[in-house]
């Protein structure tokens, strides 16, 4: 597997958040991460998995035959 490992700062920038948010995800173990010495790295695939599992698709409304009253 050829995966890039991202720092907390890089993940925060990609998500458009502060560094506190990815640190909280790590602390609560809601995202996979790797410890390299004292450094924490998040595999790019883990970030994609996290985003995919929390993506909400829009609801498609069925067209009903209702007409507006005049």
Q: What percent of the chain has pLDDT over 90?
A: 77
Helix-, strand-, coil-residue percentages of the chain, each rounded to 5:
35, 15, 50
Cα(25)–Cα(12) distance, rounded to whole angstroms?
11
Question: Which pLDDT does position 63 carry in this prediction?
Answer: 75
CA distances from 49 to 55, 58, 69 (A): 10, 19, 47
- pLDDT at position 69 is 63
Indicate if the pLDDT at residue 68 is higher than 70. no
The confidence score (pLDDT) of residue 1 equals 59
Where are the domains positioned within the chain? 5-53
Task: Find the Cα–Cα–Cα–Cα dihedral 9, 14, 15, 16, rounded to 10°.
Answer: 80
pLDDT digits (tens, 9 = 90+) for 14-45: 999 999 999 999 999 999 999 999 999 999 99
pTM of the model: 0.77
């Amino acid at each position: 597997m050829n995966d890039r490992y991202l720092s907390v700062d890089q993940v925060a920038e990609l998500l458009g958040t502060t560094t506190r948010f990815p640190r909280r995800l790590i602390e609560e173990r809601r995202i996979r991460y790797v410890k390299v010495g004292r450094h924490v790295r998040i595999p790019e695939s883990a970030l994609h998995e996290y985003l995919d599992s929390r993506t909400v698709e829009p609801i498609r409304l069925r067209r009903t035959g209702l007409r507006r009253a005049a």
